[in-house]
Amino acid sequence: MESTFVYTRKRSDFGRQCLFSDEGPKLVENIVPDKTINAEYILKDPVDRSIQMGVMLSEHEANTTRAEYTDRGMNHNEGGWPRDINPLDIEQTTRYRKKVEKDENYIHTMLQLQLAMEHCILQNNAVNIYEEYYSDIEATMPVEHFTAQTVSVYRDICSIKRPITHISWSPDGGQRICVTHCNLEFQRSPPDLSTTSYIWEVENSNKPQMSLRTSVPQVCTEYNPKDQNTLVSGLFSGQVACWDVRRGELPVDVSLSEESHRDPVRNVLWINSKSGTEFFSSSFDGQVKWWDTRKLAAPTDEIVLDMEKVDEQVISRAVGASCLEYEPTIPTRFMVGTENGLVVGCNRKGKLPSEKITARFQAHLGPVYALQRNPGYSKNFLTVGDWTARVWSEDCKESSIIWTSFHRALLTDGAWSPTRHSVFYTTRMDGMLDVWDIIQEQREPSLSIKVCDFQLRCLRVHDQGLLIAVGNHIGTTYLVELSENLTTSQKSEKQQLSNLFERESRREKILEARIREIRLKQKSAKPEDRASKADLSDFEKQPAETATKEFYQVIQKELKAISRADKAEEDEGEGEEGEGASEY
């Protein structure tokens, strides 16, 4: 039922009533044109009209004095000799010169020319307008600011978001990227979590081009550098799988569980082979296995990362592999980053265990998250772990030659620029992407980009160096475009980088030799001498011990300062009470 209310008002309150009726037009006035005035009409073109408060305009003209040029020719012979004197005859020229010097006007003429000549000589000595200053130094390019921008975003289409663990560019010019999603946290994955990874077209960020489906999550997936249709994956179960995108979303072949790794496969890399079907994998179980996609039933070869120098390698003593590095120009050698911060150089063709592990580098305090050789200098490689990134040389095994300062946020991944060899990139847990140019600056990044508000997990640089694919903790991939000056090398940059590596390597070798000498002296010293040398310098002490001692010294100093301040306040309070009592 609707409720209604009627509003009433008197007619007189609306004012006078308007009455309308139909009525024809009324002629008020009719003015007839006067034809006699038409003869007095004068047409003016243009019309001048005067107004008040107009804009005052002024015109000014200026011109420089025109320079007048004239062309004149002159025929001049050597020395201005007369026609009857041969300039090539020494006797004639000498006789004529003596004759001129005996002339009375000769001295006056020379005195007049002397002032002008002396002025020109002094001016030429002060500023030589024809001199080229700094001719031995090459002209340097102007310093340009680095820039970057996010050009595309690829989001995980699953309802439950998963971290990105690996990104791979297709070998057909980078038209597609394969993004692998996996949650590696122990027993943190819900039972209904998706195990699908995706292949995206770079130009289409709305929908993935293809899905890669397995029964267990994929940890890493890598494109075959010689075939854009073939991929290999490392699975969470320790198995490896081979894909052919022309045959669908399911893997073509999967390795047997009993022949595979015992822990999740962290890295897979294709190796340089004639068939183009061989690759190798590493896992947290401390094993490195070689495979052939034509037969994945069993690995073709394997190495156990047992650091003990014994004849037999035992998997129970193996150190877990967190990252893997392979250079195609060195087919039998590779490097492995471990969970305890070691970087191990290995030789596949070694017969004995001591020959298979050729070098060790104590790189970081925690797991090594990234390991890559410099594209232009294979002896130098980059490692990323804990809170810093380091550049190493194979000639210096005890210390890195270049390192960044410790960050507040944990570093997660890093890679060299494939086109500009002095530039590398790192990702951080606070969502920042850092660009480092070690020729220009080594203490601070040349460019820092806030990609997102979540943790960045991995990155992958395009072969041409202009694009970087960055993945975060919630499954979103960002495509970042860099400025051209970050990808184009200058003329002298290669020589500068070579000199930098050689200089830093030489410095570290000198420091290593000095440390060995100090340690040798300590070993050969007597026990009483060792006790007297307890006050060694910070250089000779272990860094961890020195840092611990300094930390406790600062704490003790602060505690003493606080106690002195409290005691001073108490003394002031007692003094005020005593003064009050005496006044009373």
The pLDDT tens digits for 340-355 are 888 998 888 877 777 7
Distance of CA 99 to the CA centre of its chain: 81
Return the structure tokens found at 294.
């034509």
- Can you give the pLDDT at residue 221? 92
Report the candidate in 324, 246, 255 with the shortest Cα–Cα distance to residue 284.
324
Rounded average pLDDT over 398-423: 89
Average pLDDT score over the chain: 82
Residues in contact with 303: Cβ distance below 8 Å, sequence separation at least 6, in sequence order: 287, 288, 313, 346, 348, 356
pLDDT single digits (tens) 101-126: 888 888 888 888 888 888 888 877 77
Residue 54 vs residue 507, higher pLDDT: 507
Q: How far apart are CA 325 and CA 226, in angstroms?
A: 18
Q: Measure Cα distances from 463 to 175, 435, 456, 469, 471 in Å.
A: 11, 17, 21, 12, 18
Exposed, middle or buried by CB within 10 Å (0-12, 13-18, 19+), for 485? Answer: middle
pLDDT single digits (tens) 458-512: 999 998 888 999 999 888 999 999 888 888 887 788 888 888 888 888 888 888 8
* Residue 13 identity: D
Return the structure tokens found at 300.
């073709």
The conformation of residue 493, written as its DSSP 8-state character, comes to: H
Query: Which range among 80-84, 235-239, 272-276, 548-552 shows the weakest confidence by mean pLDDT?
Result: 80-84
Q: Which helix (H) or strand (E) holds 244?
A: strand 240-244
Q: Which helix (H) or strand (E) holds 507?
A: helix 493-524
- Can you give the pLDDT at residue 130? 63
Report whether pLDDT(250) > 60.
yes
Q: Tell me the DSSP string of 553-580.
A: HHHHHHHHHHHHHHHHHHHHHHHHHHHH
Rounded average pLDDT over 421-448: 89
- Can you give the pLDDT at residue 79? 61
Q: Percent of the chain beyond pLDDT 90? A: 16
Report whether pLDDT(568) > 70.
yes
Residues in contact with 333: Cβ distance below 8 Å, sequence separation at least 6, in sequence order: 327, 345, 346, 347, 348, 358
Q: How far apart are CA 435 and CA 482, in angstroms?
A: 10
Report whether pLDDT(14) > 80.
no
User: Using 50, 70 and 90 to split pLDDT, how confident is the model at 381?
Assistant: very high
User: Using 50, 70 and 90 to split pLDDT, how confident is the model at 131?
Assistant: low
- Can you give the pLDDT at residue 544? 67
Query: Which range among 30-39, 255-264, 527-536, 561-570 shows the weakest confidence by mean pLDDT?
Result: 527-536
Q: Measure Cα distances from 140 to 258, 272, 345, 484, 492 in Å.
A: 61, 40, 39, 17, 9
Q: Measure Cα distances from 125 to 119, 130, 384, 579 in Å.
A: 10, 12, 59, 85
Report whether pLDDT(128) > 70.
no
Report whether pLDDT(578) > 60.
no
Report whether pLDDT(55) > 90.
no
Q: Tell me the DSSP string of 88-126.
A: T-HHHHHHHHHHHHTSTHHHHHHHHHHHHHHHHHHHHHH
Report the candidate in 303, 291, 286, 388 with the shortest Cα–Cα distance to residue 337.
286
Rounded average pLDDT over 446-467: 90
Query: Which range among 54-68, 208-222, 317-331 shows the weakest confidence by mean pLDDT?
Result: 54-68
**Taking phi first (over 0 means left), then psi (-120 to 50 degrees means alpha), and beta for anything else, what does residue 15 get?**
left
Report whether pLDDT(78) > 80.
no
Distance of CA 526 to the CA centre of its chain: 52
Q: Measure Cα distances from 343 to 166, 315, 366, 394, 411 in Å.
A: 20, 18, 11, 11, 17
pLDDT single digits (tens) 176-190: 999 999 888 776 777
Predicted model pTM: 0.64
Identify how many contiguous H helices and E strands the chain contains and give both numbers. 6, 28
Residue whose token pair is 């990702």? 427
Report the candidate in 267, 240, 277, 270 with the shortest Cα–Cα distance to residue 256.
240
- Can you give the pLDDT at residue 1? 53
- Can you give the pLDDT at residue 582? 42
Distance of CA 572 to the CA centre of its chain: 58
Q: Hey, how many other C-beta atoms are within 10 angstroms of the C-beta on 168?
A: 21
Residues in contact with 323: Cβ distance below 8 Å, sequence separation at least 6, in sequence order: 266, 267, 282, 336, 337, 368, 369, 370, 371
Where b means 16+ CB within 10 Å and e means fewer, 265-294 reads: bbbbbbbeeeeebbbbbbbbbbbbbbbbbe
Report the candidate in 197, 201, 198 with the shortest Cα–Cα distance to residue 219.
197
Q: How far apart are CA 326 and CA 333, in angstroms?
A: 7
Where b means 16+ CB within 10 Å and e means fewer, 103-113 reads: eeeeeeeeeee
- Can you give the pLDDT at residue 468? 92
Return the structure tokens found at 575.
């003094």
- Residue 381 pairs in a beta bridge with 373, 392
Residue whose token pair is 């002032």? 115
Distance of CA 188 to the CA centre of its chain: 33
**Taking phi first (over 0 means left), then psi (-120 to 50 degrees means alpha), and beta for anything else, what does residue 386 get?**
left
Rounded average pLDDT over 331-345: 88
Rounded average pLDDT over 349-372: 85
Q: Percent of the chain beyond pLDDT 70? A: 88
Report whether pLDDT(400) > 70.
yes
- Can you give the pLDDT at residue 583? 41
Q: Hey, how many other C-beta atoms are within 10 angstroms of the C-beta on 438?
A: 19
